[in-house]
Structure formats: structure tokens, C-alpha cells
Amino acid sequence: MEIPPLVKQGSVLSTEESRRYSRHLALPDISTIGQERLKKSKILCVGAGGLGSPVLMYLAAAGVGTLGVVDFDVVDETNLQRQILHGESDVGISKAVSARETILKINSLIKVVVHDVELSRINALEILGQYDLIIDGTDNFATRYLINDAAVLLGKPYVWGSIYRFDGQATVFWAEHGPCYRCLHPQPAIDVASCAEAGVLGVLCATIGAIQATEAIKIITGIGTALIGNLIMYNALEMSFEKIEFKKDPKCDLCSQNARQLQLLDDYEAFCASPSSDEISVFDLKDRIDQGGNFLLVDVREAHEFEIVRIPGSILIPLAKFFDGSAMASLPMDKNIILYCKVGIRSATALNILKSAGHKKASHVSGGVLAWVENIEPELEVY
């Protein structure tokens, strides 16, 4: 979708800036007027981690005049594999402060505003309100809904990205011109495993973060076709990109004409943690097994985990087969399916996919195989 430049009137470039950004000025689509718009623009990145690193570093180099950074975390050794804003000497210090230092090393002509706080319903509107455009570098659903809701209420574009193992996604939500995050996910999706549990290919952050930074520059300067209403899905192993179109939900609670949500929610954590009726305990599962219930027990972990320990009577269908759709072909639609994994996160994701595919009789085991061993068969091995 072609849209006019978000920043209407730029700030005049100095001679030094004209020299520095000469490769941008040489592009007819950007030229001096586009670079002046970038200089005038204020972009907020929520999260100075895996996605925030390439986003902030490239936007700094590109000459975005004001970069805001929200992060209240400190740099941990395990971040260094992908969060290239931070180096070994930054371990233990604030990510926002470390980010600021790196950004200013790249470009001392720009302004960096540090928000060393957790984004919350109390401060979100005030913080986001200071910027032209918001970029998501977070990794949790509660913050995504909060950013989306605040961005819609403020009328700001929201450039979104997410990463999982070898897969990444990116899009632009902007209620004024297209769908918002709630149009795509009206209810919280069941949480996928965190990077800590699932792992993530570090360099994946660069691919998805670069897409986010690119979209931000296009929107500020009004060039090209913004990714509004289109979801990019990237797989590093296949080196494949897919672009899927999605539409504004005419019944969206937040951004449609009949919107009922006119302000931020009271509690985003609670909204995203709403207990699922599709969850069963290991005690329930034991009862059903003892009663000889007619169901299929499916382990969605990897084969090497299945070899270590499993719930008796289960079959193995790794989570990836739910993502690529092949699992659905082998699961009978008319039979009860009970899914489990190590702790209940991956099985929740598989359940979500199964339900989206129209499977009505599925549930998953709360706490996974570890809860089973702890409560039912303590003699089994744990890992």
C-alpha cells in the first residue's frame, strides 16, 4: 500500500550530514527531502534485544533524528549470541544504557532517549505518544497487545516482528490504513515457547530486524509499498520468504467502526494468561488412561526427547509437523487428541494450530511430561 510520507516536513541537513548520508541522497526516491524527513523523525523501539539490535543500529546509521529505547532488562551472557548492540563488557549493565552507547558510537549526530522502564498501561500512552512510529522488539504477547492498543489509540504505525527457532515473521499494523494486531489475533494466541526453551538462530534477528527497519524508513519517507495488511513469513533453513495478505477485521474490538475497546485494558498479563479450558492435568490423564479412554496421546517434542522419557501409550509427532500442516493429515478428526510436550508450552502451540485447522476434540497436558514424572511415575527419567 502506497501512503504519503509520515513526516511531512523535514529538518534541514547540515553540510556534514549531507556528506555523511550522500548514498541516501543519491537515491532519487529518498534524496535530500527524504533524508530531512528521517532527521526530523522520532522512532521508538520497544526492546533492545535480538530484534532491537539491528533495528536501532541501522536506523541510527540511516540518520533517524531521535531514537527512543524502552528496556528495563540487564545484559546477560546468553544475549550475546544475537543481541549485537551489546558486547562482553556490557554484561550486567542496563540494556537501554548499553544500547545508547552503541547507537551513539555509530552516529553521534542523532539523539537517543532511554526509557529504562517496563512498558505498562500506566506509561504506554505517554511514552509512545512522543514518537512518530513504534517498532516492536519484544518477545511476549502481553506487551504486543499493549503496544498495539496504545498505537491504535494514538493513531501511530506499529512495525511488528517475531522470531522462533529458524522462523521469523514481520508486518506493519496501522489502523488508519489497514489491520491492527487484534485484527490478526483477536484473542491471545496460546503462547509459543520462549527463545530460552525453544532456542533461536541468532542471525535470524538480523533478517527480521532489517525488514522492520526498512519498513520504518519507507513509512517515514513515504517511499515504496508499506507492508500493511501483509505478513512476511521467513524460514532460514529453507531460505524461503512468503507474503500472506490479511484484512482488517470489520468487527475488530479496537480498530473497527464498531470498536468497543476505547482505552487500554486494565491488566494485559491477565488478558494473555486467561486459563484455557483445553488444558488437562496429569491426574486427569492418568484417570483417562486407567479407564481405557478412546483418545490418541501425541507427544509433540523432538525424537531425541521422546527416546529419553515419554508418557506410556503416546505417539510422536514433532511440533514442526503441526507448523507445516503434515500432522493434521495423520490425526483423525473424529477422535479425541491429547497433546503433550516437556512442560506444556509447545503442546499449547500445537493445540492452537490443531484448533485453527478445525479440530474440535483436542486438549493438552498442563506441565507436560515433567509433571507426569513428578506426580505419576517418579521412577522415570527426567531431563
Q: Which residues are catalytic?
A: 195, 341
| CB nearer to Zn ion: pick between 86 and 182 | 182
| CB nearer to Zn ion: pick between 252 and 369 | 252
Among 82, 165, 182, 342, binds Zn ion (CB under 5 A): 182
Q: Do residues 142 and 181 touch, judged by C-beta distance below 8 A?
A: no
> Which residue type sits at 130?
Q
| CB nearer to Zn ion: pick between 84 and 252 | 252
Please give the full DSSP string across 101-168, using - where no structure is assigned: HHHHHH-TTSEEEEE-S---TTTHHHHHTT-SEEEE----HHHHHHHHHHHHHHT--EEEEEEEBTEE
Count the residues of the shown chain that bind Zn ion, applying the rule CB under 5 A: 5
Cα R_g (the chain), whole angstroms = 23
How many whole angstroms separate alpha carbon 51 and alpha carbon 207? 9
- Calculate the CA dihedral of residues 259, 262, 264, 270 and round it to 10 degrees: -50
How many whole angstroms separate alpha carbon 188 and alpha carbon 176? 22
Shortest distance, CB of residue 211 to Zn ion, whole angstroms?
A: 21
Among 3, 110, 142, 180, binds Zn ion (CB under 5 A): 180
Nearest to 298 by CA among 332, 275, 272, 263: 332
- By CB under 5 A, which span of 163-171, 172-180, 216-224, 340-348 interacts with Zn ion? 172-180
Shortest distance, CB of residue 228 to Zn ion, whole angstroms?
A: 12
Shortest distance, CB of residue 152 to Zn ion, whole angstroms?
A: 7
Length reported for the chain: 383
- By CB under 5 A, which span of 7-15, 37-45, 77-85, 252-260 interacts with Zn ion? 252-260
Tell whether residue 156 is a contact of Zn ion (CB under 5 A): no
Spell 108-145 as b/e; 16+ CB within 10 A means b.
Answer: eebebbbbeeebeeeebeebbeebbbbbbbbbebbbbb
Shortest distance, CB of residue 178 to Zn ion, whole angstroms?
A: 9
The DSSP H or E segment spanning 173 is strand 167-173
| CB nearer to Zn ion: pick between 252 and 272 | 252
From residue 254 to residue 283, the character string flagging contacts with Zn ion as x (rule: CB under 5 A) and all else as - is: -x----------------------------
- By CB under 5 A, which span of 70-78, 175-183, 297-305, 327-335 interacts with Zn ion? 175-183
Among 99, 124, 142, 183, binds Zn ion (CB under 5 A): 183
Shortest distance, CB of residue 158 to Zn ion, whole angstroms?
A: 11
State the first-to-last Cα distance of the chain, in angstroms, to the nearest integer: 49
For Zn ion, the binding residues (CB under 5 A) are: 180, 182-183, 252, 255
